[in-house]
Chains A and B, each alone.
Chain A
Amino acid sequence: MRLINRHPGRVLALVLAALPFLAALVAYSVSSEIRLAANPQDRLLPSLTKIAETAGRLFTEGDRRTGAILLWHDTGASLRRLALGVGIAALVSLVAGIGIGLLPHVRKTFSGFVAVVSMVPPLAVLPILFIVFGLGEVSKVVLIVVGITPVMIRDLAGRTMEIPREMIVKAETLGASSRVIASRVVLPQVMPRLIQCIRLALGPAWLFLIAAEAIASEVGLGYRIFLVRRYLAMDVILTYVIWITALAFVMDWLLRLLARRAFPWTGAGL
């Protein structure tokens, strides 16, 4: 039998899925063990128990000076920036995407511009953003928006233009105005793609968020990681990295759930 036709059974599938995770964990523990055996004070690869201890402390114990639990403050600040940035980007790209996809005049005006702007590396304009918007919250949100919006606009405009011409013409013969076609034919069909877009954009959004926080901030997940880096506090950094990964994973899962619940027609017929 050919390899392409061989499928793992249920149990084997689970084992296979768990395998890379276990392998990474084992590889880390072994390396950590080796380093710690040579030098018990080694900070580079803290043992798993040490990380668990640190994690427990970070999640529950307050700061010695203020009493506030920093990890939750960092999480709150970062998530607020992320939500603002992604939310604004989603709104802008939805309006612009449908406009470019549906209206020939808007398309002629903006599609070239968006194509060029999407080639600008966002991190290269970060200094400009800091200068223009200051070192506060605005510049971080704007970096996320600038970073992910152009790609999302292009994707949503493309999706809008993919809507079969027949369907638009059919709506016209039912007497629909441009507005009705946009709101009742195009928008509902673009929404699932928007969710898809957001899921894909969350990766870059986190990247831009952490980059902006690392450079200038007083609170935030990225800020903390780059702060404790100076003390080589790998246990704190790893806790934060795992936490960020978990957050991103949960967001992705929630968006997937939302897409399935809110747009039952996309899965219909399968």
Chain B
Amino acid sequence: MTFVSVRNIFQSYGDRPILERVNLDVAEGEFVSIVGASGCGKSTFLRLLLAEERPVKGEIRIDGNPPAVEPGRERGVVFQRYSVFPHMTVRENIVAGESFERASGRFFGAERRAALARADAVLARIGLSHVAGQYPATLSGGMQQRLAIGQALAARPRILLLDEPFGALDPGTRLQMHDFLMELRAETGMTVFMVTHDLSEGFKLGDRVLVFDKTRWDADYPDRYGATVTYDFDARDGGMPFQHLLDQFPGLAPEFPLSALPGSAVRDHQGPEAAPTGPRL
């Protein structure tokens, strides 16, 4: 079931092509990591998903909706930096996630009290209750990114876009953020796109890992061709594909258990009596 569909995307800046023929189908709840060398267009692709810029050709739809012309509440985003509002306290930043869609951008009265209570619940969930009244500048980098993710989720987006969200963090904090993100994702079942420079991070967090690269290369004119998705790895089960193929297609199962093959380390419960006459694969 396709939730996010990317159809034949081309993007270029001036006469310099960045992306060409990008096609992608992503199911709801999938976590897609996007990796690639610098300048391979992965950030451009994220900006296209975000609708911050529009493609020269092709279209991106979320849940079949018409292609967006500007960023909106369907898409949540966390950048490497500047993702929270420095002039608001931590609690107000979370409230802003809900209140910004109002005409005045604020809540009043009972509604405000309810929103503040919800914000406190969110802060308790993301472990920032003790700094609720402080300004983001007093927080560590990891706490700021947790706040940014909490704020983005407060607006209840359909997809969450992460642009190197942990790029500016130290390795220890980064690992904590991985756990934090995996927990949040297990709770919300959010569809996530994450651009990262860190391959192991991409494989660890993602269900799929997309690699952007150029398929055609002009040695005399490196800017002639754009990049596209060159690899689409299944990153589930520790990066080993087809581990659950039989669940999906039981008909592919061999008529006798593979574990009973001669030399197999695994002993099947049927015992060695069911010894095969020969593999039928």
Contacts and interface: CB of A to CB of B under 8 A. Distances in A.
B278 to A, nearest CB: 60
A177 B135 contact: no
Contact of B79 (A166, A171, A180, A185): A166
A170 B135 contact: no
Contact of A175 (B72, B135, B138, B151): B72
Contact-size category for A: 20 to 34
Given A268-B137, A269-B137, A176 B105 contact: yes
Contacts of B86: 189, 265, 268
A173 B155 contact: yes
Interface residues of B, number: 37
A264 B92 CA distance: 15
Contacts of A264: 135
A223 B79 CA distance: 57
A164 B77 CA distance: 14
Contact of B81 (A166, A263, A270): A166
A173 B72 contact: yes
B210 to A, nearest CB: 22
B108 interface: no
A179 B100 CA distance: 10
- Describe B's contact surface by its main secondary structure: loop
B87 A175 contact: no
A62 interface: no
Contacts of B103: 177, 179-180
B85 interface: yes
A179 B102 CA distance: 10
Interface in A172-186: 172-177, 179-180, 183-185
Contacts of B88: 188, 265
Best-buried of B52, B85, B87, B101 by chain A (most CB within 10 Å): B87
B85 A169 contact: no
Best-buried of A167, A176, A183, A269 by chain B (most CB within 10 Å): A176
Given A166-B79, A184-B105, A171 B135 contact: no
B87 A189 contact: yes
Interface string B62-76: 000000001111011
- Describe A's contact surface by its main secondary structure: helix
Contacts, number: 91
A173 B84 CA distance: 12
Contacts of A173: 50, 71-73, 75-77, 152, 155, 157
Interface string A74-116: 0000000000000000000000000000000000000000000
Interface string B84-100: 11111000000011001
Contacts of A185: 85
A171 B102 CA distance: 12
A265 B89 CA distance: 8
Contacts of A184: 96, 100, 105-106
A160 B50 CA distance: 23
Contact of A172 (B70, B138, B151): B70
A180 B138 contact: no
A176 B102 CA distance: 7
B134 interface: yes
9 contacts: A169-B50, A170-B83, A170-B148, A171-B100, A173-B50, A173-B76, A173-B157, A174-B101, A268-B135
7 smallest CB-CB distances across A and B, nearest first, come from A175-B101, A269-B137, A180-B105, A164-B82, A268-B135, A176-B100, A172-B71
Given A176-B101, A180-B103, 10 more contacts: A167-B83, A167-B85, A173-B152, A183-B104, A185-B85, A189-B86, A268-B86, A268-B136, A269-B138, A270-B137
